[in-house]
Amino acid sequence: MGFDRNVCETGLKLGLGFSPAVEIIPAKAGNHSHPCRPKAVALSFEPSLTLGLVSGDKVNDGFVIKPSSCEILYRQDSTGASSFSNASVKREREQRGSEETETTARVSSRVISDEDDDGSNGRKKLRLTKAQSALLEESFKLHSTLNPKQKQELAKELNLRPRQVEVWFQNRRARTKLKQTEVDCEYLKKCCETLTDENRRLQKEVQELKALKVAQPLYMQLPAATLTMCPSCERVGGSGGPPATSADNSSKETFSSITTPKPHFYNSFPNPSAAC
DNA sequence: AAGAATGGTCCGCTTACATCA
DNA sequence: ATTGATGTAAGCGGACCATTC
């Protein structure tokens, strides 16, 4: 597993303390969202975990849509799609009111227009056709955000309202981010497990070395140059190898090499084993 | 120039509905 | 036929930015 920052520019930052544990915070009470979906990730060790998707393509020139035969779902809104904002959507709805009824034609049997009886009986559910979804996906691959012109063109192409195209892109971005967050979360959990194991092992080494020091004080009086011991592989070597550190320093330095702040977490563990 | 008003867009959260096992 | 799980279109509110006055 790894992060391809060229593909997904998710910002990821992690700080690790001494009692690592990754916790997935479920949705709020009263929320009907799926409990298995992580809403946030909390780390109990003084963490700094930021997962965010950065949309890198704000400027979307050269927008090309391949022609496709899309099932006609709506008659285009007679008002055009002059506004996309929530405020204007609200206004749009208010303005429509009675004049809305004649604008809708349900052509697809599996699609219900949200314009035909807007209001009292609750919203209806639109299901995009496969052709529409495919074209939207294709556009999304090119650029995850749309400028107004692109939105208009795509909406025209799909026989949807620009607002629907906008909503689709918003939801699509949210889905992408959620998936990436889940991937990142799994990765962090694995890193956490690795570090926990590493920490446990090093603590054990410290204890063993301390015991050794008590049991064999003479052993420790030997010059370091003549006797070196790798704290990780527990092999005693000659003077040719890297110098051994004392038990305390070994633990300290090794751990500090794990927790040394790096600019970005995702480059911090090319080799998770901090020893040797 | 500074600041309020407005409009457009995005995001996070949520709801409601469609679909499927 | 019913039901619970899941996917997703859409609503809502807030934040941010640009433009206008």
pLDDT at A174: 92
Say which CATH topology domain A86-174 has.
Arc Repressor Mutant, subunit A (1.10.10)
Does the nearest atom of strand C lie within 7 Å of A86's Cβ? yes
Q: Cα(A52)–Cα(A140) distance, rounded to whole angstroms? A: 18
| Interatomic separation, CA of residue A163 and C1' of nucleotide C14, rounded (Å) | 19
Q: Pull the structure tokens for residue A14.
A: 């992690």
Does the nearest atom of strand C lie within 7 Å of A196's Cβ? no
User: Are A157 and A164 spatial neighbours (Cβ–Cβ below 8 Å)?
Assistant: no
User: Are A25 and A41 spatial neighbours (Cβ–Cβ below 8 Å)?
Assistant: yes
Does the nearest atom of strand C lie within 7 Å of A164's Cβ? yes
Give the helix ranges, DSSP H, for A159-225: 162-215, 217-221
- The 3-state DSSP class for residue A236 equals strand
Q: Is the dihedral of CA A192, A198, A199, A204 positive or negative?
A: positive
Q: Is the dihedral of CA A154, A157, A158, A160 positive or negative?
A: positive
From A76, A113, A86, A118, select the one nearest A100 (Cα to Cα). Answer: A118
| Interatomic separation, CA of residue A194 and C1' of nucleotide B19, rounded (Å) | 41
- The 3-state DSSP class for residue A51 equals strand
User: Are A118 and A93 spatial neighbours (Cβ–Cβ below 8 Å)?
Assistant: yes
User: Are A219 and A212 spatial neighbours (Cβ–Cβ below 8 Å)?
Assistant: yes
A213 contacts: CB under 8 Å, gap ≥ 6: A219, A220, A247
Question: Do the strands A50-53 and A10-13 form a parallel or antiparallel pair, or are they unpaired?
Answer: antiparallel
pLDDT at A227: 53
How confident is the prediction along chain A (276 residues), in pLDDT tens digits per residue? 333 333 333 333 333 333 333 333 333 333 333 333 333 333 333 333 333 333 333 333 333 333 333 333 333 333 333 333 344 444 344 444 333 333 333 333 333 333 343 333 456 667 899 899 999 999 999 989 999 989 999 999 999 999 999 999 999 999 999 888 888 888 888 999 999 999 999 999 999 999 988 887 655 555 555 555 555 555 554 444 444 444 334 333 333 333 333 333 333 333 434 333
- The DSSP call for residue A110 is T
pLDDT at A200: 96
| Interatomic separation, CA of residue A271 and C1' of nucleotide B15, rounded (Å) | 45
A159 contacts: CB under 8 Å, gap ≥ 6: A70, A72, A73, A74, A76
Closest nt to A133 (CA→C1')? C8
- The DSSP call for residue A169 is H
**Exposure pattern of A35-56 as b/e (b: 16+ CB <10 Å)?**
eeebeebebebebebebebeee
**Kindly report the CA angle at A269 between A50 and A23, in degrees rounded to 5?**
40
* One-letter identity of residue A240: G
